[in-house]
């Protein structure tokens, strides 16, 4: 039986571990927190998983919360004008529903399932020297922990990483009590673009205390939304979030007037990081090799909501590659090939995300505006979140955008 070590217990690490486990592999997962510590800790992300990624979980029987989580059936965009009025507002229907499950309950639940099924879950921080030791007793080591010392083993791929500094300051609040958007009677992610300021995302979700909403500011560094860095008190964090909504997105602020409150004591998160693509293979001091997973090797800004989706797709690609490899050594060629298969999909996410971080060119503004008048355009935008490769056909180049709009308007 082949022995595999996975460092990190997030979406990709645990999905891959559970998939390998179900196929008879001897799998060990190492992480620095217990399931209870994850469940009772601070929120981890703003995850919203679209239909393709959710299907990968269903395939492995890991969709434990699908019936309880709100079904997100649409995705809408609003653009703020100079007087904080909506100059553009539309919503597109998703072909397959999306869902957001608080990673605290999801990762804790998956950790417990992994152990209950006989997996070895080791609660311990991991250093490069530890991996050197474990490389002598395991056939393959995968690093799925996207922070800390281990990431330094994977060098930055400058050709695929146009940004060297964070492009947004991030501030997250999970809340109960948010009112519905009156424009539609179904659940939808709402993306509010405030030119020169940043973006506000509103995401229906499930947390440990039941259905909730995520209010997520992405502020341009140094701008008026970049004010959360020194805030430690969750109540102050929420107040700042609401004050900024009142100023820049009053139509979303109106949804809070019935009274919103944080879902729990750990319901806020703030931070920033530079988007980066890294080389997928890490070299250990003793000569062994390790393979980077998901945001260890492709870390995009969350502006396009792709982090958990990327992680699920990476885990699925790596699982397929490992199963197909049989008893052959997991050498450098295997690792590079597995990453290249993942990059075939992830490159489209990276290109789209990096484009959305920059000020939009005129043809993109025209597309966003057209979606407010033409339902097929809104539909295509919304479903691009599930299949970002589609943007290649109509989004990036003015000529393709013009041809697409002409085909719609006749």
Q: What is the CATH number of domain 3-62+102-163+275-356?
A: 3.50.50.60
- pLDDT higher than threshold 80 for residue 147: no
The percentage of residues in the chain with a pLDDT greater than 70, rounded to a whole number, is 100
**Could you give the CA distance from residue 115 to residue 110 in angstroms, rounded to a whole number?**
9
What would the two tokens of residue 229 be? Answer: 């860095």
Per-residue tokens: 330: 């997991």
Domain 72-100+165-271 CATH assignment equals 3.30.420.40:
no
Question: Whole-angstrom distance between the N-terminal and C-terminal Cα of the chain?
Answer: 61
For residues 107 and 15, give the distance between their C-alpha atoms in angstroms, rounded to a whole number.
Answer: 9
Could you tell me the residue ranges of all domains in the chain? Answer: 3-62+102-163+275-356, 72-100+165-271, 360-409
Structural element, H or E, at residue 201: strand 198-207
Q: Are 75 and 191 within 8 A, CB to CB? A: yes
E strands, 113-168, are: 120-123, 140-143
> What pLDDT is recorded for position 148?
80
Residue (of 315, 285, 279) closest to 4 by Cα position: 315
pLDDT in tens, 6-61: 999 999 999 999 999 999 999 999 999 999 999 999 999 999 999 999 999 999 99
> Quick check: 52 and 313 in contact, CB under 8 A?
yes
Instruction: Say whether pLDDT at 404 is over 80.
Output: yes
Confidence (pLDDT) at 149 = 84
- 69-79 pLDDT, tens per residue? 999 999 999 99
Give the relative orientation of helices 398-409 and 375-384 as an angle to the nearest 10 degrees.
Answer: 130
**What's the pLDDT at 410?**
75
Q: What is the mean pLDDT of residues 87-108?
A: 98
Prediction pTM value: 0.97
Q: Is the pLDDT of residue 384 over 90?
A: yes
């Amino acid at each position: 039986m082949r022995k595999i070590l996975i460092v990190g217990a997030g979406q990709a690490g645990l999905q891959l571990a559970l998939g390998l486990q179900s196929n008879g592999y001897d799998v060990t997962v190492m992480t620095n927190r217990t399931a209870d510590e994850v469940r009772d800790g601070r929120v981890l992300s703003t995850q919203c998983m679209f239909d393709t990624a959710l299907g990968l979980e269903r395939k492995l029987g890991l969709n434990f919360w699908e019936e309880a989580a709100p079904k997100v059936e649409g995705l809408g965009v609003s653009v703020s004008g100079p007087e904080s009025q909506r100059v553009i507002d539309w919503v597109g229907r998703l072909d397959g529903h999306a869902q957001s499950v608080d990673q605290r309950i999801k990762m804790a639940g998956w950790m417990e399932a992994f152990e209950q099924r006989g997996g070895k879950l080791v609660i311990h921080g991991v250093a490069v020297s530890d991996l050197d030791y474990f490389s002598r007793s395991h056939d393959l080591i995968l690093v799925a922990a996207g922070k800390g010392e281990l990431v330094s083993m994977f060098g930055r791929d400058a050709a695929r990483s146009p940004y060297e500094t964070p492009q947004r300051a991030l501030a997250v609040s999970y809340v109960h009590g948010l009112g519905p958007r009156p424009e539609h009677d179904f659940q939808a992610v709402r993306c509010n673009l405030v030119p020169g300021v940043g973006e506000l995302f509103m995401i229906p979700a499930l947390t440990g205390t039941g259905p909730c909403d995520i209010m997520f500011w992405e502020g341009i560094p140094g701008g008026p939304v970049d004010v959360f860095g020194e805030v430690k008190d969750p109540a102050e964090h929420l107040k700042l979030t609401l004050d900024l909504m009142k100023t820049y997105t009053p139509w979303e602020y109106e949804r809070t007037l019935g009274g919103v409150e944080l879902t729990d004591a750990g319901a806020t998160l703030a931070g920033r990081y530079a988007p980066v693509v890294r080389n997928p293979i890490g070299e250990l001091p003793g000569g062994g090799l390790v393979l980077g997973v998901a945001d260890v090797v492709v870390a995009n800004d969350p502006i396009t909501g792709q982090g958990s989706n990327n992680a699920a797709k990476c885990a699925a690609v790596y699982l397929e590659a490992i199963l197909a490899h049989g008893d052959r050594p997991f050498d450098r060629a295997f690792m590079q090939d597995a990453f290249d298969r993942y990059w075939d999909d992830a490159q489209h996410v990276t290109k789209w995300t990096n484009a959305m971080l920059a000020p939009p060119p005129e043809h993109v503004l025209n597309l966003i505006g057209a979606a407010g008048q033409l339902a097929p355009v809104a539909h295509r935008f919304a479903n691009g979140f599930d299949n970002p490769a589609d943007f290649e056909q109509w989004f990036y180049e003015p000529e393709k955008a013009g041809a697409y709009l002409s085909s719609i308007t006749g």
